[in-house]
Amino acid sequence: MTGKRIGAAILAVALVGSAWLLRSNVLDDGGDTGDPDAAGPAQVISCVEESAAACRAAGAAAGIDVHIENADTTFDRWATAPADELADTAWITLAPLPDVAAASRVATELPQTLPAPRTQ
């Protein structure tokens, strides 16, 4: 049962990552949206260990650097780093870590504004 859930989670990450890469690298004409605050395509994928295979495949397909690390390590960076240091990084992780990181930023009085989520 656990194996099926892990497999389903990896498949879901792979599908979302593939759709995102397809949209950002093939379907998007790369034109200026006119919004200077709009996030550009990620240059780095920071990925939890549970999704390593899917992240490596997505990164290799798009020529994007992939960092596989423990969720705690990535969480600490996203909870404390200045938003401009995170602007070119996509974070592929498990829920609810992004919400908890945003709450931690508020608790430490850092600007809560993080790079806009890239959703499909």
| Residue 68: predicted pLDDT | 93
| Residue 87: predicted pLDDT | 82
Position of tokens 């879901």? 12
Q: Which two tokens stand for residue 45?
A: 């994928």
| Residue 120: predicted pLDDT | 47
Residue 67 and residue 47 in contact, taking contact as beta carbons nearer than 8 Å:
yes
DSSP state of 45: E
Going from N- to C-terminal start, the domains of the chain cover 2-27+41-107
Distance CA 55, CA 60 (A): 8
Measured in whole angstroms, how far is the alpha carbon of residue 38 from the centre of its chain?
Answer: 16
The count of C-alpha atoms lying within 13 angstroms of the C-alpha of 81, restricted to the half-sphere facing its C-beta, is: 15
Q: What is the pLDDT along the chain (120 residues), one digit of tens a residue?
A: 777 777 677 766 666 666 665 566 555 555 445 454 555 667 888 898 988 999 899 888 888 899 999 888 888 888 888 888 888 888 888 888 778 887 877 777 665 555 555 554
